[in-house]
Structures are given as C-alpha cells and as structure tokens.
Chains A and B, each alone.
Chain A
Amino acid sequence: MFGIGLLKGLSVTMRHFIESYLYDRKPWEPRYHEEWLRKRQSVEGKGLFTIQYPEQKRKISEHFRFLPMLVYDETPDKPRCTACGVCARVCPPQCIWIQRATDEKGRPQARPAGFWIDTTICMSCGFCAEFCPFDAIKMNQEHEIPTSDRDRDMFYSLEKLLVPVEYYAKLHPSDYAAEQQERQAKQEARKQEA
C-alpha cells in the first residue's frame, strides 16, 4: 500500500528522536557531563552526538598530529636536533628552513643555529617526525592557534618550536615509552660490546 515505506522510514527517524530526547533527560546522567558524553559518543552510544565547543572538547587521540615541535632534553639551548636536514628535505611542501651552527673556524656543528617552520604552508603530514633519526622533531597537538596576523605569528622560529621532553612524553606517552625502551636496549648493547 502506498505510504507504508514512508511510515517505515519515519519510524526510524522517530526512534532517533525519542532516543535523543530520553537520553537527555536522565537525571542520573546529566546531559553535558564528561563521563556521559564519552559514553554517548562511543560506539555503543545512541542519540545525539554533538558537544558544546569550545566549553567542552573531545578527547583527542594521543597519536593526533598537528604542527611540528622540537624537543630538548635538559635546557633549550641544547636541543636534540643535530641539523642533519632530513626533515627539511623530506618535507613535502618544503616549509622547514634550517641553518646549521658553525664554530668560530666555520666548521659545521651538530646543532641548529636557526630553525624556522612556516606553519601556513605545513600540511601536518608528520613526515618530519617520522623520519627524524634523532627523535628530535615531534608533532604537537596544540591546534587552536588562530591569530590576527599570520606574518607575525605563524612563522615559528626556534623559541616557539622548542619544548621540553616532558611535554612530549605527556602528549605521546606510548611513543615516548617505546623510544625510551629502544634507547635503553641500544645503550645496553653498547655496554656489552665495551
């Protein structure tokens, strides 16, 4: 009969509507409570899906990548970076500029004197972090960076790129742990050789 298909379809939208409505009215699970949100946005969740941005934010994955950052271990004047140039060369849009440091006699040193990233060009591909042989460049997750002046604020130089290793460890805990493990293994192997 004409109309049955329509009604069948409407029953689906109706169910969605009722689900959202009822789920919103569970006093023991307040609507915008963190826990409850996570549950609703999970695979088992039903009903509405949206949250109140920017008051509320979704938890982003620890592997999420946005812009690169440079890691230092102890002090910012000793970054891990050795100015080897792999990241600058692999970068697909070529938005990394590196100036290698030299000593008084003009011999090249294994550290950068200048390091600039044009974040207006960076495509967040993550290749620099992936291919850096010294784990010196990693991907930051800070992504709310609107600014009124792109020339002034979106050209990152060393000061803006450098972050302590603790910051990196907090952002990417499992990657950090894996790297530490690898390092230790290497060190032990070296000790045994010696």
Chain B
Amino acid sequence: MATDLGAIEAQLNQAFPGAVIDRDGDWLVIEASRLPTVAQYLRDEMGYDWLTHLSASDYPDRFEVVYNLYSSRPDQQGPGIPFKVRVPDKANPHVPSLTSIWKSADFQEREVWDMFGIRFDGHPNLKRILLWEGFAGHPLRKDWHEPYYEQEHKPFPSRWPHAQQPKPRSAEERVRWRANVQYPQGFDPDQWKPVPEIDVLPAAKIDLNGLETDQVYVNIGPQHPSTHGVLRMIVGLNGETVTSIYPVLGHLHRNHEKIGERNLWTGIIPYTDRLDYVCPMYNNFGYVVAVERLMGQEVPERAEYLRVIMGELTRVINHLLAIGFQFNELGAMFTPMIYAFTEREHVLDLFEEASGARMMVNYYRFGGVARDVSDDWLKRCRKVVDRLDRKIDEFDTMLSDNEIFIARARGVGAMSWQEMVNYGVTGPVLRSAGLKYDIRKVEPYSIYDTFDFEVPTFETGDIYDRYRQRMAEARESVKILRQALDRIPARGPIQAGKKPWNPKVPAGELYSRVEHPKGELGFYLVSDGGTNPYRYHVRSPSFVNLGALEAMSVGHLFADAIVILGSIDITLGEVDR
C-alpha cells in the first residue's frame, strides 16, 4: 500500500496552486521557491512531521534534491511522501534550506553541499561535513573523477581478455595522479593556506559568574573517543558543563556512494558489509530489499526465513554490544563488553559457517541468499538462540539494578520523541522516548508481517531507557528467532531462478528503508536500466542520529557527553561512508 499521492497532490494544489509542477513516477516535483511553505504545510497541516531522508542526484541537465517525508501520527505511519526539487542551474545551484522546519535537514543538507555543491539558502552552517574545508570539487558530481580513475563503470576492459601483467608497483605509484589530479582554478600551492578549522566555532567570551572569560573548547578524538571509532568532537565547556558539541566527521570517508555508482549492482553487496561493520547482515538486507523492489523480484520462502534469522541474530548482538560499550563509557571497563563479545562469537561462528566469513559476510543476493544452511546449522542456531536468551537475562541481573548505573543514567540525555522526530532520530533511541514506530511493523518488508512480536517502548528517552529499550528489543528478536526456527521450511530453493552476475535493473527511482538495529537504514537508488546504478545513496541511521547529539548533551556534564554518544550507538563506518 502506497500513500495516495494523487490525493496529496490535489490537496497541495488546492492550498498552493502551481506549487506542484510535475509528477515523476512516485515523486512529486515541487517548485523550488515554494519549498519551505509547502514543507511547513505538510508538516503542520497534514501531519508529515518527519524528514528522514534528504539527498540529491546529478543529471546532465539538472540537479535534483530529493526528500522523503514520513509521519509519526499513528493513522498515517507507513509509506510517506517522496518529493523532489529540480535545480536546472548547474553552474550555481541553490535550494532553500529546510533546517528551520526540520533539524534533521542540517547534516543531510551539509552532506549534499559537500558532495554536490548545491547551496542551501538559509542554512545556518553550510560547511563541508565529510570532506575537509578546502577540498576542491564536489565528488558525487558525475564529472568529478577520483585519482586512479579508469572509466565510468566497472567492469574495466583492461582486466580481460587482454590484460597485461600488472607491474608490481606500490599502490602509491599506481595512482595515476598526473592524469587525474584536479586543482581549483588559479591554484597556487605557495599561496595556499589551510582553512583554520576553529573558524567553525564562535570564539565567544562567556560570562562566568560575573567573570569574563574565553570559551573553552576541548577536543575529543579523533583517536577512539570512547572506542567508537574515529570521530572527533569539539566540545565547548563552561566549567564541567557542555555548552556545545561540534562533531567533525569524515575520518573514515571513502566515498562509498561513488564506488557504488561505478560498480555492478551485484558488486555493491560486499561493500555494504563495510558500512556498519557490527551489523553487516542487516546492511546486505537493506540493500537487496531496495534493489528487489526496483526489480520486482520474488524471494523463495526458505531464503526469506534465512534472511530474517540472520538479521535478527545481528540485532541481538548489536544491542548486546551497544550495552557492553555503554558500560565502557560509564567506566565499568570491559567486563560487560567482554561478556557481550563472548556471545557475539557464537553468532559469528554461525555466520562463518553459513556465509564463509565472520564479519564481511556478503550473504544476501537479489532473490535469495548465497548459500543454504544444513540441518545441523539450524540445530546449532537454536542452541545459540537459547543461550542468547539466557545471557540477556544474565545481563539484566548484572546491570539493570546497578545503583551506580542508575545514578549516572537516569535523566541524562533525555529528549522527547517529538523533538527526536524533528531531528530525524530513528531506531531504539526514538522508541525509548515513547514513540511506537518500527519499520518492521509500519511498512513490513520480507516476511516480518508473519511474526508475532511487540514493539517495546519506554517513556523518557534517557540513557537508562535506551538501555532498557535495547534489552527489550533483544528479547523480542529472540522471540522472532524462535518462531523463524520453528517455521522455516525444511527444504526448498534459496534462490529465485538463475542468479546472473550482472542483473539489469529496470529504470526507476526509489527510496527504500528497513529497520536496521540502529535505526532507519535507507537506500535511495536511481537506475537507468543498466547494470550499474546511476545514483546510489545510503541514508545511514548513525549519521542522522548523530545530528541530535549536541541537543541531547548540552547542559550535561562533560563525562556524560561521552555516555550520551555511546547510547546513540553509532558506527563510524556508516557515519562517514
């Protein structure tokens, strides 16, 4: 069931004659100058209060900025409103910013500016986000070529059938700098000065009990702030109290999306493993579901069950790890984390047996999965599930009533769900604040609609509730796993039809989302009917959730800011892409 776009279009046309200028497949095309008023109307009058995805794509004659609106209202959760804005002026592209309506637009608009060079008028801080200030060019434009560029699409003809022996030279030498390197016009290395990054911060004087003093900034990271990966936060302090947080991203940036656009549709699957490396199975899941929706591909039943089993095992270990790391940040060094890792080993053993790798699984295929599992595997899986069930209880006994934990976690980082929706926060963090919203329920994919499970929620969204939320969700996942193991058909195909190595995907454009353990994992795909995607965008839950970090942390103690970061549960492979 899709939203009735026709009705929405009619309603918009009535309220703003001429604002909807076109209909492009499932997308409404809105006139750029009317965008903020229409968006405001959609949010306030029609209840579509949730901008989860914003990105862009580059066509020969225009840019398009695409938006996906969803609603938190119980009667219209589910499919949302996809709309876009066309920007024909390629030399100097401008679009009005939506940051004043949705704070979730902040990071995502900055990403679009960084990658496409589209300016968002009215954005309070339109700086690059994944690359550094001073980088030349906007890499997701089609005319931007990376060093080591061979040609637009794989496969490269130089590899077969007349390959020459590649000379074993070091990778640095193989990079064909000379042919590719791009300098901005009039670039003079002698005159170049790095952009002072502290410029991004207000060098404000602050008033400290009548004493005028400089604002103090403290850098956390980029090396392992609280073992979450390479993230840097510039934290403004007033005494011990946080007054601002400016996350500096991109240390792990490798332009996943450009790599994807060069690749075959199939070739992207192993790359998605590397997004959120704690949940590779679920990244696979999200991507193949998106492409299957474009292709209209059916999946055999046994494969669907295997997908759900792998996915939910991933969810349990992700939540246990998140809790384990959470305690690291609280100072309970390593014990809960090591316990979590112990359980993860058992699940990774299962993954290794099924897919051939422990982490970089590359298991899902369009229309199926890579390899069938044996009956023995299923038996072992049941044992692992029983064990996980026991271990969740053990975690509960070990941690839930710990008074020190409660004292540190209660009331810290709390945020109302309304505000979280405005920030685009999804997943367990959002549900812990009280909004019952789970994509597995509101827009079911795969066979999730056949399982009996609850969507737990809590009230305040503070760190303690997030912890309890993850425990409760892990329990629900165990419930799903039990049902799946009971009902999985004993034999049957695991792949629909033949599995071509270079499937053609019919032309089309869609945004497809799944409930990743960390939140909404979305893929925005544009196909021109070929063997490579024309546009491939990952809307990663970690990246968007990180946008709310500052608002959650301000006013709390410095030490709590790290705990709040941990409780959002980010993976930098996915934030930086």
Contact = CB atoms under 8 A, between A and B. Distances in A.
B132 interface: no
Contacts of B349: 61
A178 B357 CA distance: 21
B159 A5 contact: no
B176 interface: no
Contact of A155 (B163, B166, B370): B166
Interface string B156-171: 1011111111101111
Interface in B114-161: 150, 154-156, 158-161
A49 B268 CA distance: 35
A63 B267 CA distance: 20
Contact of B403 (A2, A43, A61, A100): A2
A12 B160 contact: no
A103 B356 CA distance: 39
B306 interface: no
Interface string B277-310: 0000000000000000000000000000000000
Given A13-B335, A61-B353, A126-B356, A98 B163 contact: yes
A99 interface: yes
B243 to A, nearest CB: 33
A194 interface: no
A88 B156 CA distance: 9
Interface string B8-31: 000000000000000000000000
Interface string B388-415: 0000001001111111101000000000
Contacts of A83: 160-161
Nearest to B385: A43
Contacts of A142: none
Contacts of B155: 88-91, 94
A52 B342 CA distance: 16
B358 to A, nearest CB: 9
B346 interface: yes
Interface stretch (A21-29, A112-120, A185-193): A112-120
Interface string A1-34: 0111110110111001000000000000000000
B360 A124 contact: yes
A60 interface: yes
Contacts of A99: 161-165
A99 B335 CA distance: 54
A164 interface: no
Contacts of A85: 159-161
Given A9-B397, A64-B352, A90-B264, A116 B335 contact: no
A125 interface: yes
Contacts of A90: 155, 264, 266-267, 501-502
Interface magnitude class on chain B: 35 or more
Nearest to B373: A63
B501 A86 contact: yes
Contacts of B160: 83, 85, 88-89, 96-98, 100
B163 to A, nearest CB: 4
Nearest to A2: B403
Contacts of B360: 123-125
Interface in A57-89: 60-61, 63-65, 83, 85-86, 88-89
Contacts of B161: 83, 85, 98-100, 108
A127 B266 contact: yes
A150 to B, nearest CB: 8
A89 B159 contact: yes
A105 interface: no
Contacts of A94: 150, 154-156, 159
B380 A5 contact: no
A49 B344 CA distance: 12
Contacts of A123: 270, 360
Nearest to B158: A97
Contact of A92 (B263, B384, B397, B399): B263
A1 to B, nearest CB: 10
A106 to B, nearest CB: 12
Contacts of A139: 356
A151 interface: yes
Interface of B: 150, 154-156, 158-166, 168-171, 263-264, 266-271, 335, 339, 342, 345-346, 349, 352-357, 360, 362, 370-371, 380, 383-384, 387, 394, 397-404, 406, 499, 501-502
13 contacts: A4-B401, A6-B402, A43-B380, A43-B383, A43-B387, A61-B353, A88-B163, A92-B263, A97-B165, A126-B362, A126-B370, A127-B266, A127-B267
Give the 3 A-B CB pairs with smallest separation, nearest first.
A5-B401, A92-B267, A89-B155
Given A89-B501, A120-B171, 12 more contacts: A4-B401, A6-B402, A9-B397, A11-B397, A16-B339, A64-B352, A85-B159, A91-B155, A92-B268, A97-B165, A124-B357, A126-B370
